Chain A
Amino acid sequence: MKIRTKFTLLNIALVTAAIAITTAFSLMQIHRDAVDQARAVQESHLRAFWELLKDKGTTFAVRDGKLHAGDYVVNGNYELPDKVKELFGGAATIFMGERRVSTNVLTPDGARAVGTVLDGPPRDALFRDGKPYRGEAVILGVPYFTAYDPIRNAGGEVIGALFVGVKKGDFYAGYERLKRGSIFIALLVGGVFGLISILLVGRLLSPLKAMVEKLRRIPDDESRVTDLGMRLDEGSMDEIGLVAGEFNALLEKMRQIIAQVADATGEINSFAGTISTAVHHQASFTSQLSSSVSEISSTMEEFTSTATEIARHSQEVVDIADTTHHNTREGAAQVETLTAKMGEISRDNQIAIQEIVELGRKSKEITKIMGIINTIANQTKLIAFNAALEAASAGEAGRRFGVVAQEIRRLADNVFESTGEIEGRITEILDTVNRLVVASEKSSGGIRDGLDYSTQTSGLLRELVSGAESTTEAARQISFSTQQQQTASSQVVIALRDIEEGVRFSSTSIQQTSEISRNLTVMAVELRKLVRRFTWGDENRASVTDYPAEPAAEAP
Chain B
Amino acid sequence: MATVAEDTLPGVPPLRLLIFTSGGLRFGAYADQVAALGPWDPDDPHPHAVPFHHAVGLGNAEAFRNPETCIVSRGGEVCTLIIESPDDLVSVETRIVRPLPLLVEPFALERGVWAAIPGEEGILLLVDLYRLATNRNLWHPQGDLS
Interface residue? B32 (CB, 8 A): yes
Interface residue? A385 (CB, 8 A): yes
CB-CB under 8 A for A382 and B37, given A392-B31, A392-B32: yes
Contact residues, A343-399 vs B (CB, 8 A):
378-379, 381-382, 385-386, 388-389, 392-393
CB-CB under 8 A for A389 and B31, given A381-B85, A382-B68: yes
Q: Say whether B85 contacts A389, CB under 8 Å.
A: no
Choose among A378, A379, A382, A389 the residue that contacts B89 (Cβ–Cβ < 8 A).
A389
Residues of chain A contacted by B66 (CB below 8 angstroms): 378
Q: Say whether B38 contacts A382, CB under 8 Å.
A: yes
CB-CB under 8 A for A385 and B32, given A378-B66, A379-B39, A392-B16: no
Residues of chain A contacted by B35 (CB below 8 angstroms): 389
DSSP majority for the A interface? helix
Choose among A379, A385, A393, A406 the residue that contacts B86 (Cβ–Cβ < 8 A).
A385
Mark interface residues in B41-73 (1 if CB within 8 Å of A CB, else 0).
000000000000000000000000010100000
Interface residue? B36 (CB, 8 A): yes
Q: Say whether B36 contacts A386, CB under 8 Å.
A: yes
Residues of chain B contacted by A389 (CB below 8 angstroms): 18, 31, 34-37, 89
In the bound complex, what is the Cα–Cα distance between A379 and B40 (angstroms)?
11
DSSP majority for the B interface? strand
In angstroms, how far is the closest chain B Cβ from the Cβ of A281?
91
Q: Say whether B16 contacts A378, CB under 8 Å.
A: no
Complex: chain B residue closest to A383, CB-CB: B37
Residues of chain A contacted by B31 (CB below 8 angstroms): 389, 392
Q: Say whether B16 contacts A386, CB under 8 Å.
A: no
Residues of chain B contacted by A388 (CB below 8 angstroms): 89
In the bound complex, what is the Cα–Cα distance between A385 and B107 (angstroms)?
31
Choose among A378, A386, A392, A393 the residue that contacts B85 (Cβ–Cβ < 8 A).
A378
Residues of chain B contacted by A382 (CB below 8 angstroms): 37-39, 68, 85
In angstroms, how far is the closest chain A Cβ from the Cβ of B30?
11
In the bound complex, what is the Cα–Cα distance between A406 and B31 (angstroms)?
14
Complex: chain A residue closest to B87, CB-CB: A413
In the bound complex, what is the Cα–Cα distance between A382 and B83 (angstroms)?
13
In angstroms, how far is the closest chain B Cβ from the Cβ of A398?
12
In the bound complex, what is the Cα–Cα distance between A406 and B36 (angstroms)?
15
In angstroms, how far is the closest chain B Cβ from the Cβ of A537?
126
Complex: chain B residue closest to A390, CB-CB: B36
In the bound complex, what is the Cα–Cα distance between A386 and B37 (angstroms)?
6
The count of chain B contact residues (Cβ–Cβ below 8 Å) is: 15
Residues of chain A contacted by B34 (CB below 8 angstroms): 389
Residues of chain A contacted by B89 (CB below 8 angstroms): 385, 388-389, 392, 406, 409
Interface centre among A378, A381, A386, A389 (most CB of B within 10 A): A389
In the bound complex, what is the Cα–Cα distance between A379 and B86 (angstroms)?
13
Complex: chain A residue closest to B16, CB-CB: A392
Residues of chain B contacted by A378 (CB below 8 angstroms): 39, 66, 85
Mark interface residues in A190-201 (1 if CB within 8 Å of B CB, else 0).
000000000000
Residues of chain B contacted by A381 (CB below 8 angstroms): 85
Residues of chain B contacted by A386 (CB below 8 angstroms): 36-37
In the bound complex, what is the Cα–Cα distance between A393 and B18 (angstroms)?
13
In the bound complex, what is the Cα–Cα distance between A409 and B86 (angstroms)?
11
Complex: chain B residue closest to A382, CB-CB: B37
In the bound complex, what is the Cα–Cα distance between A121 and B16 (angstroms)?
212
Residues of chain A contacted by B38 (CB below 8 angstroms): 382
Residues of chain A contacted by B85 (CB below 8 angstroms): 378, 381-382
Mark interface residues in B6-39 (1 if CB within 8 Å of A CB, else 0).
0000000000101000000000000110111111
Q: Say whether A385 contacts B16, CB under 8 Å.
A: no
Residues of chain A contacted by B37 (CB below 8 angstroms): 382, 385-386, 389
In the bound complex, what is the Cα–Cα distance between A406 and B91 (angstroms)?
13
In the bound complex, what is the Cα–Cα distance between A393 and B32 (angstroms)?
7
Complex: chain A residue closest to B37, CB-CB: A385
In the bound complex, what is the Cα–Cα distance between A409 and B89 (angstroms)?
10
In angstroms, how far is the closest chain B Cβ from the Cβ of A210?
147
In the bound complex, what is the Cα–Cα distance between A146 and B89 (angstroms)?
213
Mark interface residues in B75-110 (1 if CB within 8 Å of A CB, else 0).
000000000011001000000000000000000000
In the bound complex, what is the Cα–Cα distance between A381 and B68 (angstroms)?
11
In the bound complex, what is the Cα–Cα distance between A118 and B68 (angstroms)?
211
Residues of chain B contacted by A406 (CB below 8 angstroms): 89
In angstroms, how far is the closest chain B Cβ from the Cβ of A436?
29
Complex: chain A residue closest to B36, CB-CB: A386
In the bound complex, what is the Cα–Cα distance between A393 and B37 (angstroms)?
14
In the bound complex, what is the Cα–Cα distance between A393 and B89 (angstroms)?
13
Residues of chain A contacted by B18 (CB below 8 angstroms): 385, 389
Complex: chain A residue closest to B86, CB-CB: A385
In the bound complex, what is the Cα–Cα distance between A313 and B56 (angstroms)?
84
Residues of chain B contacted by A385 (CB below 8 angstroms): 18, 37, 86, 89
In angstroms, how far is the closest chain B Cβ from the Cβ of A412?
10
In angstroms, how far is the closest chain B Cβ from the Cβ of A382?
6
In the bound complex, what is the Cα–Cα distance between A205 and B89 (angstroms)?
174
Residues of chain A contacted by B36 (CB below 8 angstroms): 386, 389
Complex: chain A residue closest to B91, CB-CB: A392
In the bound complex, what is the Cα–Cα distance between A409 and B90 (angstroms)?
13
In angstroms, how far is the closest chain B Cβ from the Cβ of A374?
9
In angstroms, how far is the closest chain B Cβ from the Cβ of A390?
9
In the bound complex, what is the Cα–Cα distance between A386 and B35 (angstroms)?
8
In angstroms, how far is the closest chain A Cβ from the Cβ of B74?
14
In angstroms, how far is the closest chain B Cβ from the Cβ of A432?
25
Complex: chain B residue closest to A393, CB-CB: B32
In the bound complex, what is the Cα–Cα distance between A378 and B16 (angstroms)?
22
Complex: chain B residue closest to A381, CB-CB: B85
In angstroms, how far is the closest chain A Cβ from the Cβ of B15?
11
In angstroms, how far is the closest chain B Cβ from the Cβ of A475?
70
Complex: chain B residue closest to A405, CB-CB: B89
Residues of chain A contacted by B68 (CB below 8 angstroms): 382
Complex: chain A residue closest to B69, CB-CB: A382
Residues of chain B contacted by A379 (CB below 8 angstroms): 39
In the bound complex, what is the Cα–Cα distance between A379 and B37 (angstroms)?
10
| 11 A-B residue pairings within 8 Å (CB atoms) | A382-B68, A382-B85, A385-B89, A388-B89, A389-B18, A389-B31, A389-B89, A392-B16, A392-B31, A392-B89, A393-B32
Sort A-B residue pairs by CB-CB distance and give the 7 closest, nearest first: A385-B37, A388-B89, A386-B36, A382-B37, A386-B37, A392-B31, A392-B16
Q: Knowing that A379-B39, A382-B38, A389-B89 touch, tell me 7 more A-B residue pairs with CB under 8 angstroms.
A: A378-B39, A382-B37, A385-B86, A389-B31, A389-B36, A392-B32, A392-B89
